[in-house]
Amino acid sequence: MSKPVMLKSNKYGINLILDEHMDFEELLKCILDKFKESEGFFKNAKMAISFEGRKLTQEEEFRIIETITDNTSVNIICILDNDALKEELIRQKVERFEEEQAGKTGEFYKGTLRSGQVLDCESSIIILGDINPGAKVISKGNIVVLGALKGNAYAGANGNEQAFVAALVMDPIQIKIGDVIARSADKVQEGKKRKKKHSADVEVDPQVAIVKDGNIYIEPITKGLLNNI
């Protein structure tokens, strides 16, 4: 006969795996015995408890906890709801809400992101400045850079491939949208003489990066493109 009560610990606390069919009073005694057995190990421990394997009413749950706390030195702080289905539903709702928020709202950031700096944002973000190589912008929504994007940008950080990255000067090291990542082309050796660029004349060529068919496309911003995003 398999054990009626099994103690398993997880990262949150103790998981009590209970036999389904046993009579409740007997089960209670088995639980108590089990805890008394491990008294030395659990001495004065504070833990969270969760139940598995048997549907318990609230009263039954409380009785178990009472029994444990009254007769051993273990201190039960709280009960963890182990209902996997409930957890999943809640998680989905929260994520969907976050996605909607990310799509509708936006934040502004004024200033240049220097190498080594990371800007992590829940909502879409508009940056009034440059992103230097070595800097990173992460957003669950879209990223708009009113300046030069020369570093890394990660839009749609929660897996949203509908997000886009736009910049006045698009020269990123890496772009990631959703789960699709793209890197800049390796620098080709140019034997030609470089044009002497004056700093005032940096070419401003607004471009936007979007995901199409699982790849990242970077295209100049035209009216048609913006409507299709």
Partner 1 sequence: MSEVIVITSGKGGVGKTTTTANVGTGLAQLDKKVVLIDTDIGLRNLDVVMGLENRIVYNLVDVVEGNCRMKQALIKDKRYPNLSLLPSAQTKDKSAVSPEQMVKVIDELRDEFDYILLDCPAGIEQGFKNAIAGADRALVVTTPEVSAIRDADRIIGLLTANEIARVDLIVNRLRMDMVKRGDMMNIGDVTDILAINLIGAVPDDEQIVISTNQGEPLVGTDCKAGIAYANICHRVLGEDVPFLNLEEKDGMWNKLKGMFKKN
By CB under 8 A, tell whether 226 contacts partner 1: no
* Residue number, 55 or 192, with CB nearest to partner 1: 192
Task: Give all strands (DSSP E) within the chain, no chain letters.
Answer: 5-9, 13-18, 46-52, 75-80, 106-110, 118-121, 124-128, 136-139, 143-149, 152-155, 165-170, 174-177, 180-183, 207-212, 215-220
CA distances from 92 to 87, 119, 167 (A): 9, 26, 32
By CB under 8 A, tell whether 198 contacts partner 1: yes
- Using DSSP's 3-state secondary structure scheme, residue 158 falls into coil
Q: How far is the CB of 51 from partner 1 (least distance, A)?
A: 49
Near partner 1 by CB under 8 A: residue from 67, 82, 101, 112: 112
Near partner 1 by CB under 8 A: residue from 199, 215, 227, 228: 199
Near partner 1 by CB under 8 A: residue from 196, 214, 215, 227: 196
Near partner 1 by CB under 8 A: residue from 115, 120, 205, 217: 115
Contacts with partner 1 by CB under 8 A lie at: 112, 114-117, 130, 132-134, 150, 190, 192-194, 196-199, 202
